[in-house]
């Protein structure tokens, strides 16, 4: 055997664990699946020897060396049937970009002329307000806040009653008044008025969930940290069977999608599916007759 090769073994009795496509790094929690064999194992002589398990042997070249006789390692990855065609159809249906999210989403709610630190804060605030709230209502609240000068300092100097009047009628506005004040104080004390640049720090802020954190990373920092999954993405992914098994929460859906969806699509999928959910794949009485995926959607076939 060539000195530039190492021998890798994998038991036939064990299935390789699935691995996300799209070039992302493999999660640290996944154990190593390839074990280097050091020499041959010696067997003790005896009357009853344990039956040797058959091993599948593959080789991996070191330092870019290749061996024509080596069998390439293969990793099986689950993915939904016909998802590329379903995605292409959704892109076609969303080509006009005329859904509420296209005009009033978080990337449209901040003041583009404000300093970068203020813009990032406004992005985070718009995301906090958007929870359980229609885009039109969120945009209205942001417009009223910006008219008074929307910064960390201005929010901390605004009394709770006035802040409530400014953001009403966003969903759970009373709780959001408290969360906005608490988060703004943390940002002033620990981040010099800026917002954190990591998902872990963002979700640690009062009133900030995983979807908001991933969107804040994308819009405010230009970093794709994961798929932002809200109720629209969660609903549509399950209707199209884009998860290997039904999921019960947006976070479970996010994890399921990130296992197979190519990473280069992560930044697109939220806005694409949110608008599709606002216009066609409605929560109640979806407009299946007008959907290009009617013949490809398992849920539509059951209606």
211 classed as catalytic: yes
Q: Determine the Cα–Cα distance for residues 251 and 191; give it in Å rounded to an integer.
A: 27
pLDDT digits (tens), the chain, 303 positions? 444 444 444 444 444 444 444 444 443 333 444 434 444 444 444 444 444 444 444 434 434 444 455 555 545 589 999 999 999 999 999 999 999 999 999 999 999 999 999 999 999 999 999 999 999 999 999 999 999 999 999 999 999 999 999 999 999 999 999 999 999 999 999 999 999 999 999 999 999 999 999 999 999 999 999 999 999 999 999 999 999 999 999 999 999 999 999 999 999 999 999 999 999 999 999 999 999 999 999 999 877
Backbone dihedral angles phi then psi of residue 104, each to the nearest 5 degrees: -125, 10
Cα separation, 15 vs 6, whole angstroms: 22
Cα distance between residue 18 and residue 303, in whole Å: 32
pLDDT at 302: 79
8 beta partners: 36, 58
- 78-97+226-302 CATH fold: Endonuclease Iii, domain 2 (1.10.1670)
Q: Which member of 51, 66, 176, 211 is catalytic? A: 211
Radius of gyration (C-alpha) of the chain in whole angstroms: 25
Backbone angles phi, psi at 255, to 5 degrees: -60, -40
Q: Cα dihedral angle (200, 202, 207, 212), rounded to 10 degrees?
A: -100
Which residues are bridge partners to 55 per DSSP?
Answer: 11
10 Å CB burial of residue 215 (0-12, 13-18, 19+) is buried
Residue ranges covered by each domain of the chain:
78-97+226-302, 109-225
Structure token pair of residue 261: 């969806």
Write the CB contacts of 193 (distance below 8 Å, at least 6 apart in sequence): 117, 121, 151, 152, 153, 187
* Rounded Cα distance, 152 and 120, in Å: 11
- For the whole model, what pTM was predicted? 0.74
Decide whether 78-97+226-302 matches 109-225 in CATH topology.
no
**CATH architecture, domain defined by 109-225:** Orthogonal Bundle (1.10)
Structure token digits, residue 153: 């300092």
Identify the bridge partners of residue 36 per DSSP, sorted by sequence position: 8
**What would the DSSP string read from start to end of 252-283?**
HHHHHHHTTS-GGGHHHHHHHHHHHHHHTS-S
Is residue 120 within 8 Å of residue 195, measured between CB atoms?
A: yes
User: Given this model, what pLDDT does residue 153 score?
Assistant: 98
Determine the distance from the C-alpha atom of residue 241 to the mean position of all C-alpha atoms in its chain, rounded to a whole number: 17
Helix, strand, coil fractions of the chain, as percent rounded to 5:
45, 5, 50
């Amino acid at each position: 055997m060539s000195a530039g090769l190492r021998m890798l073994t994998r038991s036939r009795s064990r299935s390789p664990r699935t691995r996300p496509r799209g070039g992302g790094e493999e999660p640290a929690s996944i154990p190593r699946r390839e074990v280097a064999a050091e020499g041959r194992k010696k067997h003790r002589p005896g009357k009853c020897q344990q039956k040797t398990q058959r091993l599948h042997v593959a080789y991996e070249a070191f330092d870019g060396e290749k061996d024509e006789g080596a069998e390439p390692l293969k990793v099986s990855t689950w993915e939904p049937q016909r998802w590329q065609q379903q995605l292409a159809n959704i892109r076609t249906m969303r080509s006009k970009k005329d859904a509420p999210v296209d005009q009033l989403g978080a990337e449209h709610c901040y003041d583009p002329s404000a300093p970068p630190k203020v813009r990032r804060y406004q992005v985070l605030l718009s995301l906090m307000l958007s929870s359980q709230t229609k885009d039109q209502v969120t945009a209205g609240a942001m417009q009223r806040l910006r008219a008074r000068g929307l910064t960390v300092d201005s929010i901390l100097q605004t009394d709770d009653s006035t802040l409530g009047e400014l953001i009403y009628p966003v969903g759970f506005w009373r709780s959001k008044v408290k969360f906005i004040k608490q988060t703004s104080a943390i940002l002033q004390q620990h981040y010099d008025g800026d917002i954190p640049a990591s998902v872990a720090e963002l979700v640690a802020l009062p009133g900030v969930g995983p979807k908001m954190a991933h969107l804040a990373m994308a819009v405010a920092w230009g970093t794709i940290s994961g798929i932002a999954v809200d109720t629209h993405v969660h609903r549509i992914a399950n209707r199209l069977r884009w998860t290997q098994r039904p999921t019960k929460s947006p976070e479970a859906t996010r994890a399921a999608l990130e296992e197979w969806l190519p990473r280069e699509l992560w930044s697109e999928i939220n806005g694409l599916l949110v608008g599709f959910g606002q216009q066609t794949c409605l929560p109640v009485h979806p407009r299946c007759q007008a959907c290009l995926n009617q013949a490809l959607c398992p849920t539509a076939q059951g209606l």
